[in-house]
Amino acid sequence: MQKKDVIAITGAAGFIGSYLTSFLNKLGYQQLVLVDDFSKEKKTPNLLGKKFLHKVHREQFFDWFANHPGTVQYMFHLGAHTDTTEMDYAVHKKWNLDYSRSIWELCTNNNIPLVYASSAATYGAGEHGYSDNHELVNKLEPLNPYGVSKNNFDKWVLEQKHTPPSWAGVKFFNVYGPNEYHKARMASVIFHAYNQIKSGGKVKLFRSHNPSYKDGEQMRDFIYVQDVVSICTWLMENQPANGLYNVGTGKARTFLDLVRAIFHTLQIPEKIEFIDTPEDIRDKYQYFTEADMTKLLKAGYDKPFHSLEEGVKEYISQYLAEGKHY
């Protein structure tokens, strides 16, 4: 990518999309076309101070593109319906499958390299492991309609004979960091735990309903958003082999590790209370996720990841404590 190239980003007002926008700005990329539903006021602060060419509503993007032929050289498709508690598959299908197919076809027909967001939710309970090997995709059994929609798009992509000149589907694991203020219930556990501790001096964690895990020892591959966009940008700049790529740290950590890092950063004594996992998500709950990062590392990505403690400290001290955005 050259600094003068025009890069389109869907989901640009959201958590990862707005962070990517700022990250690219800091690398010198300012010719950005931001695509999203900009009517949601809680997302407005995410884009304050960002440099870009155009803001285009997601519903109008394809018409805009048709009226600006040859304008866009690269595409990051991060826009999605991400509410894992939304059980109406039709809502997920519209944005995560149908819209994504249209983006794919646009990139294919116009020779535009594409990086698109998949999800670790595709792995379901992890009964087939967490490898981004394409042979596994048809075996995966996601636990909710969001994961199903993401996996259905991955499956569709792998069937396509006509593709963008370069493409990568990035399977995000548990991403946390600045610019998620608007996400409400779907914000990271770190965001919620920080606010609980600040308001009441204690944090509530879900009790384990699985005899294989003690309370608080459920594990996730938590990855700092800076590492996520670093990987996305690297994939676009280096264009390794086309395919699906896990985006995690490759090291699962417990929720107890996470909240202890928050207490340590705030220099407050630990006070942890366990509550039942809500029944509407209990049977869909993942007790362990850990990205197999072999493929990305073999492709040449060699930047170190933030440890959970490093990421939590930066997120709290530089952003949450002052209500700042990146």
Output the pLDDT for position 83.
83
Nearest-Å Rg of the Cα atoms of the chain is: 19
Residue 26 lies in a domain: yes
Per residue, the 3-state secondary structure of 141-166, as one string, reads: CCCCHHHHHHHHHHHHHHHCCCCCCC
pLDDT-based confidence at residue 11 (cuts at 50, 70, 90): very high
Output the pLDDT for position 295.
98
Residue 137 lies in a domain: yes
Residue 146 lies in a domain: yes
The DSSP letter of residue 94 is I
Average pLDDT score over residue span 207-235: 97
Average pLDDT score over residue span 57-82: 96
Identify the CA nearest to 112 among candidates 101, 125, 103, 124: 103
Output the pLDDT for position 100.
98
Average pLDDT score over residue span 52-80: 97
Identify the CA nearest to 119 among candidates 171, 186, 176: 171
Residue 272 lies in a domain: no
Average pLDDT score over residue span 256-280: 95
Active site residue 303: no
Identify the CA nearest to 221 among candidates 103, 308, 106, 115: 308
Residue 293 lies in a domain: yes
Output the pLDDT for position 86.
85
Strands 272-275 and 243-247: unpaired
The beta strand positions in the chain, using DSSP E, are 7-10, 32-36, 54-57, 74-77, 114-119, 167-172, 174-176, 203-206, 219-220, 222-224, 243-247, 253-254, 272-275
**pLDDT exceeds 90 at position 280:** no
Q: Which domain holds residue 33?
A: 7-176+222-249+289-306
Percent of the chain at pLDDT exceeding 90: 93
**pLDDT exceeds 90 at position 200:** yes
Distance of CA 303 to the CA centre of its chain: 18
Residue 13 lies in a domain: yes
pLDDT-based confidence at residue 84 (cuts at 50, 70, 90): confident
Output the pLDDT for position 108.
98
pLDDT-based confidence at residue 85 (cuts at 50, 70, 90): confident
What are the φ and ψ backbone dihedral angles of 34, each rounded to 5 degrees? -95, 125
Q: Is 209 exposed, middle or buried (0-12, 13-18, 19+ CB in 10 A)?
A: middle
pLDDT-based confidence at residue 24 (cuts at 50, 70, 90): very high
**pLDDT exceeds 90 at position 281:** no
pLDDT-based confidence at residue 124 (cuts at 50, 70, 90): very high
Identify the CA nearest to 126 among candidates 42, 218, 9: 218
Domain count for the chain, please give it: 1
Identify the CA nearest to 79 among candidates 27, 157, 184, 153: 153
DSSP codes of every residue in 164-214:
-SSEEEEEE-EEE-SS-GGGGGGS-HHHHHHHHHHHHS-EEEEPP-STTS-
Instruction: Say which CATH number the domain at 52 has.
Output: 3.40.50.720
**pLDDT exceeds 90 at position 292:** yes
In one-letter notation, the amino acid at residue 194 is: Y
Average pLDDT score over residue span 259-266: 97
Catalytic residue among 146, 194, 315, 319: 146
Residue 106 lies in a domain: yes
Strands 253-254 and 219-220: antiparallel
Are 139 and 125 within 8 A, CB to CB? no
Average pLDDT score over residue span 175-195: 95
- Name the more confident of 283 and 152: 152
Active site residue 298: no
Residue 90 lies in a domain: yes
pLDDT-based confidence at residue 98 (cuts at 50, 70, 90): very high
Catalytic residue among 55, 93, 183, 313: 183
Please count the CA atoms within 13 angstroms of the CA of 263 that sit on its side-chain side: 16
pTM, 2 dp: 0.96
Average pLDDT score over residue span 47-57: 97
